[in-house]
Amino acid sequence: MQDKTNGWLNGFIGVAIFAGSLPATRVAVADLNPMFLTSARATLAALLGLAFLLLLRQPRPSLADSPSLALTAVGVVVGFPLLTALALQHVSSAHSIVFLGLLPLSTAVFAVLRGGERPRLPFWVFSVAGAAFVAGYAALGGLEASLQGDLLMLGAIVVCGLGYAEGARLSRKLGGWQVISWALVLSLPAMLPIAWLSMPASFESVGTRAWIGFGYVSIFSMLIGFVFWYRGLAQGGIAAVGQLQLLQPFMGLGWAAVLLHETVSWTMLWVTLAAVACVAGAKKYAR
């Protein structure tokens, strides 16, 4: 019981940290191109993760763990950051944040496929209902909608769900912060040269807000958030704790309104609240 409680607490902290990711990315891509942002944030986080692994003398993962680490890296180190950065060139962070309501369903599907979990039928009813609210909003997005931006966000949700489930499954063996650190280190040989090649000729046009956004997504979104998130998923169950992601759009919309002064419509709020309401039913049947 204590592990379950700790799992929900750690998961909530992770979601709270991730909630600032899209607004911070939106600020960063205003002055930095998406490819450089994705590779540079992964490089910085990888160097920090490597330092922690060496200082704390963590044993290397076994060769058998390499495919899982690679899937984790593809999902959360490369796929989600790159696709969202590209999407945020076409849609506002407030619009993109609502898509995060699909993450619990994506994570739950991969929890079954990769994590061996078997939630009951009512769990899927609530999960699909929450996803339907989000999909309905995206379909009726009005003039702000961008097909390209929406498709990029949907792709980001799929690969992120895979990365979450795969990383959480491996966290049961290696530990939460170790998994994200090793996944980052595994991606470093690719991310470092890409960051170098995609680096702008001059940083004079990069404003302070963009650097703050870059720092947030590199340190908090890419590393610290996963320390809590993977621990929470491993302790409380991937499908169950994954439903906390339905709170992320609500938190993220608040950040978008406060920091970026973006318009948060009543429709956005109602859709987000409806999705959040589904988490209560899903949580009950997630075991």
Burial class (CB in 10 A: 0-12, 13-18, 19+), 214: buried
* Alpha carbon separation from 254 to 101, 154, 264 (Å, rounded): 15, 22, 8
Q: What is the pLDDT of residue 145?
A: 61
What tokens does 263 get?
């318009």
Residues 172-195: tens digit of each pLDDT: 888 888 999 999 999 999 999 999
Residue 92's alpha-carbon distances to 83, 192, 253, 274, in angstroms, are 14, 29, 11, 21
Mean pLDDT by 10 residues, the chain (287 residues): 79 91 87 93 95 93 92 93 88 76 84 80 82 70 68 92 91 88 95 94 90 94 92 86 80 74 72 74 66
Q: Give pTM, 2 decimals.
A: 0.83
Report domain extents, the chain: 2-198+205-284
Question: Helices 266-284 & 121-139, crossing angle to 10 degrees?
Answer: 170
What is the model's pLDDT at position 258? Answer: 74
DSSP 131-191: HHHHHHHHHT-GGG--HHHHHHHHHHHHHHHHHHHHHHHHHHHH-HHHHHHHHHHHHHHHH
CA–CA separation, 105 and 84 (whole Å): 18
